[in-house]
Copies of this chain bind each other. A is one copy, B any other.
């Protein structure tokens, strides 16, 4: 950590800061330049990080040097994490994994129908929301446990692994019992208690980036789960909020290589929520695979006109099937499989 002092900082102010650092058991290195004095802090940066040093008289700015996350970092683990979600599906390996299915679980028959179709097209995980976070209290809120049972049924019929969102701690057990991957939604990325509880399980977790969160904060949230002992975390880029209005969110495609450079955890891209428009799902999925994503999560619905949520961004099964062909070609072009 580097502490930059104001040009008019007095000697006693500087000494006061140094004294505080020393009291914390750390060493300092002081550089008195022409315009500014700078104090370098040597030792465990975490100890100082939480000190409100900027409030000390004479301090202009505090510059952290080390990353605030550890377990999620490539400094901690060099090799890529590969997560085994069961049924032979491994995330973070050579094969790009596609998760597909409806936004919400609606009926058992419909879900099984979609499951069969997306499996035939090459998906290996079935997605479907049983608990739905909705902006409006008047919108469809999901089937709850009944939805989880339909998902389990679809797994039985197709062998697909399952991913579903967990919104409420009270549902942790029942969700763990039925599905293979727990999704933490964008709105809950900083629901720290939820992260802690999920960290106590060993279940694979798909952690979605909050719509206004930086990559660094995403890694900090992953750190909550890892720190609990659960290393089966995959990170999901799903678009961030910007001023652009032609898409629902702005897919931050560069986040894929950025995360790959900073962290050993696999990266998944959600082009459906990022764009909010089915016509953009194809190009953005191809871009994600080309950029190096380890997986995709895509909404598919046989009848988007009748979908109870997010119909605008759902692909027809036949469009999904065609897209899977395109994605296979792109995956091979970048040395992956699909």
Binds B, one of A84-92, A120-128, A302-310: A302-310
Binds B, one of A146-154, A164-172, A175-183: A164-172
**Contact for A7 among B75, B278, B305, CB less than 8 A:** B75
Residues of B within 8 A of A242 (CB): 240, 242-243, 250, 252
Asked if A232 lies at the interface with its beta carbon under 8 angstroms from chain B, I say: no
Q: How far apart sit A20 and B311, CA to CA, in the bound complex (Å)?
A: 15
Interface bits A267-290 vs B (CB < 8 Å: 1, else 0): 000000011011110111011111
Residues of B within 8 A of A258 (CB): 246-247, 280
Within 8 A of B (CB), among A31-62: 31, 33-36, 38, 40, 42-43, 46, 49-52, 54-56
Q: How many copies does the complex hold?
A: 4
Asked if A244 lies at the interface with its beta carbon under 8 angstroms from chain B, I say: yes
Task: Say how far A232's CB is from chain B's closest CB, in angstroms.
Answer: 17
Q: Which residue of B lies closest to A228 (CB)?
A: B137
Q: Which residue of B lies closest to A71 (CB)?
A: B137
Asked if A190 lies at the interface with its beta carbon under 8 angstroms from chain B, I say: yes
- In this complex, the interface size class of chain A, counting residues with CB under 8 Å from chain B, is 35 or more
Given A31-B40, A137-B223, A334-B329, verify A305-B56 contact (CB < 8 Å): yes
Asked if A4 lies at the interface with its beta carbon under 8 angstroms from chain B, I say: yes
Chosen A-B contacts, 19 in total, with CB atoms closer than 8 Å, are: A36-B65, A46-B138, A50-B140, A52-B305, A54-B277, A56-B305, A135-B220, A137-B196, A137-B223, A167-B192, A191-B191, A214-B243, A250-B250, A253-B283, A253-B284, A257-B282, A283-B291, A284-B291, A287-B287
A-B complex: 5 closest residue pairs judged by Cβ atoms:
A52-B311, A212-B212, A290-B290, A287-B287, A329-B333
